[in-house]
C-alpha cells in the first residue's frame, strides 16, 4: 500500500512540476496538490522510519527474551545444585563406595556425586 501511495505522490508532483514549468505559474488547485504530494511523501518517510524502529525494537526484545530464558534456566540449575548440597541427608554415609563391591564401605551422596551436579549447573 505505501509503495502505491509513494508512486502516486511522485507522479502527481512530477506532473505538476511539468505543468508549472510550461506555464510558469501554479493555480490554487495545483498548489494544493503539490502540498498534498509533499505531505504524503513526508508521511511515507515517517512510516518507513517507524517500521525501522519497530524492527530494531523487535530484534532487541527477541535478544532480551532469549537472554532472560537462559538466565532463568541457569538460576534453576543453580538452585537445584544448592538444594542438593544443602540437604543434610546427602551427607550421611548411605551409598556403597563402589556399585560393584557393596562391602567396600559407604560414602555420602555428596562424595558419590563428586561435584557432578555442580558441574552440570555451571554448564561444564
Is 76 inside any structural domain? Answer: no
Is 86 inside any structural domain? Answer: no
Residue whose entry in the numeric block shows the C-alpha cell 506532473:
15
Is 92 inside any structural domain? Answer: no
- The secondary structure of residue 99, as a DSSP letter, is T
Is 74 inside any structural domain? Answer: no
Range list of H helices, 1-124 = 2-23, 28-86, 109-113, 116-121
CB proximity list for 77: less than 8 A, separation 6 or greater: 120, 121, 123
Strands 93-98 and 101-108, sheet pairing = antiparallel
Is 81 inside any structural domain? Answer: no
Domain that holds residue 30: 2-69
pTM of the full structure: 0.47
Q: Could you tell me which residues are beta bridge partners of residue 106?
A: 96
Is 82 inside any structural domain? Answer: no
Helix count and strand count (H, E) for the chain: 4, 2
> Taking a C-beta distance cutoff of 8 angstroms, is the pair 94, 108 a contact?
yes
Say how many domains are in the chain.
1
pLDDT (tens place) for every residue of the chain, 124 residues total = 466 666 666 666 665 555 555 555 556 666 667 777 788 888 888 999 999 999 999 999 999 999 999 999 989 988 888 888 888 887 777 766 655 555 566 777 777 777 777 777 777 6
Is 108 inside any structural domain? Answer: no
Is 124 inside any structural domain? Answer: no
Amino acid at each position: 500500500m505505501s509503495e502505491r501511495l509513494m508512486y502516486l505522490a511522485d507522479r502527481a508532483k512530477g506532473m505538476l512540476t511539468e505543468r508549472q514549468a510550461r506555464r510558469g505559474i501554479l493555480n490554487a488547485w495545483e498548489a494544493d496538490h503539490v502540498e498534498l504530494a509533499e505531505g504524503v511523501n513526508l508521511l511515507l518517510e515517517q512510516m518507513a522510519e517507524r517500521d525501522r524502529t519497530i524492527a530494531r525494537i523487535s530484534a532487541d526484545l527477541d535478544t532480551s527474551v532469549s537472554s532472560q530464558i537462559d538466565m532463568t534456566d541457569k538460576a534453576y540449575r543453580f538452585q537445584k545444585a544448592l538444594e542438593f548440597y544443602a540437604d543434610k541427608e546427602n551427607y550421611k554415609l548411605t551409598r556403597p563406595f563402589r556399585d560393584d563391591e557393596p562391602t567396600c564401605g559407604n560414602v555420602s551422596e555428596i562424595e558419590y556425586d563428586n561435584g557432578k551436579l555442580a558441574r552440570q549447573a555451571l554448564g561444564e
